[in-house]
Amino acid sequence: MMRLQFKAERVLAVVAHPDDAELLCAGTLARARHDGATIGICVLCRGDKGQPSQPLKNLAAVRRRETSASARLLGAELLLGDFADGTLQDGPAGRAKLVELYRKFKPTLVLAHPAEDYHPDHRAASALADAASWFCASRGHDTHSPALVSAPAVWWMDTMNMNGFEPGFYVDISDFLALKMQMLACHQSQLSRGKDADFSPLAELMRLQFRTRGMQAGVDGAEAFRAHSAFKRARAW
Ligand SMILES: [Zn+2]
């Protein structure tokens, strides 16, 4: 049985929106941090279109504050892509930005949305995270910072509500469920949307998901992943 030890890792979650890391991988980040790993969250979009029914004028600024508060609770470095919601695409600009962010943070492990995700921004983030995981270690791709010596390993994260995602393995996050809930609670602009007819109650969805993944894996709470098996992004654990 695989026994994960994150102590020497630098783990970077690359997500599309300000609350995605909380929903899909915060327990694993917390566990990595507990082991002694350095952890970061890269949020590619500003979250500027996640409007509650009573619209907030300065939503992007509100969400930046919510995200910072959550990252502080976790002890994670926060990296911002600053793209507008709904505009994220795999392309030269996004790749160059993310390659430079990787070269600054120097991840040994990247957690990214899977290609089969339900949300177009998540799928674009997935393609970008994958492309950057190759180019960050390629000296021919010039950015401000030097190329990394080796490409990071990549794990695909679960999807919201687990639709269409076939887990490869589970990370036991039973000791970090309260922290994961506290981090999500920082995103009040989104939790307030739980009453909107067109939006899902996030805290309840998240609890159901880590309990279900936990039940599948025989623990109180878990997050599901699948390892990217591509050349130089696969690693033995
Ligand atoms: Zn999202």
Q: Over the stretch 168-223, which tens digit does the pLDDT of each residue have?
A: 999 999 999 999 999 999 999 998 887 776 677 899 999 999 999 999 999 999 99
- What's the gap in Å between 56 CA and the centre of ligand 1? 18
Q: Of 18-32, 51-65, 157-171, which gets the smallest average pLDDT?
A: 51-65
Residue 21 has pLDDT above 90, yes or no: yes
- What's the gap in Å between 139 CA and the centre of ligand 1? 32
1: pLDDT confidence band, cut at 50, 70 and 90?
Answer: very low
- What's the gap in Å between 199 CA and the centre of ligand 1? 13
Q: What is the mean pLDDT of residues 77-91?
A: 96
Residue 36 has pLDDT above 50, yes or no: yes
Return the axis-axis angle of helices 59-74 and 26-35, rounded to nearest 10°. Answer: 40
pLDDT of 52:
87
Q: What is the mean pLDDT of residues 30-44?
A: 98
Task: For residue 132, give the amino acid letter.
Answer: A
- What's the gap in Å between 33 CA and the centre of ligand 1? 23
pLDDT of 4:
86
160: pLDDT confidence band, cut at 50, 70 and 90?
Answer: very high
Residues, beta carbon < 5 Å, ion ligand 1: 16-17, 20
3-class DSSP state for residue 78? strand
pTM of the model: 0.96
Contact 47, 85 (CB under 8 A): yes
What CA–CA distance (Å, rounded) separates 207 from 178? 10
- What's the gap in Å between 119 CA and the centre of ligand 1? 7
- What's the gap in Å between 177 CA and the centre of ligand 1? 20
- What's the gap in Å between 149 CA and the centre of ligand 1? 31
- What's the gap in Å between 173 CA and the centre of ligand 1? 21
Q: What is the mean pLDDT of residues 121-147?
A: 97
Task: Please provide the distance, in angstroms rounded to a whole number, between the alpha carbons at the two ends of the chain.
Answer: 11
- What's the gap in Å between 160 CA and the centre of ligand 1? 9
Task: For residue 227, give the amino acid letter.
Answer: A
- What's the gap in Å between 45 CA and the centre of ligand 1? 9
Residue 63 has pLDDT above 60, yes or no: yes
- What's the gap in Å between 226 CA and the centre of ligand 1? 19
- What's the gap in Å between 52 CA and the centre of ligand 1? 15
What CA–CA distance (Å, rounded) separates 134 from 228? 12
pLDDT of 2:
59
- What's the gap in Å between 154 CA and the centre of ligand 1? 19
Q: What is the mean pLDDT of residues 2-28?
A: 94
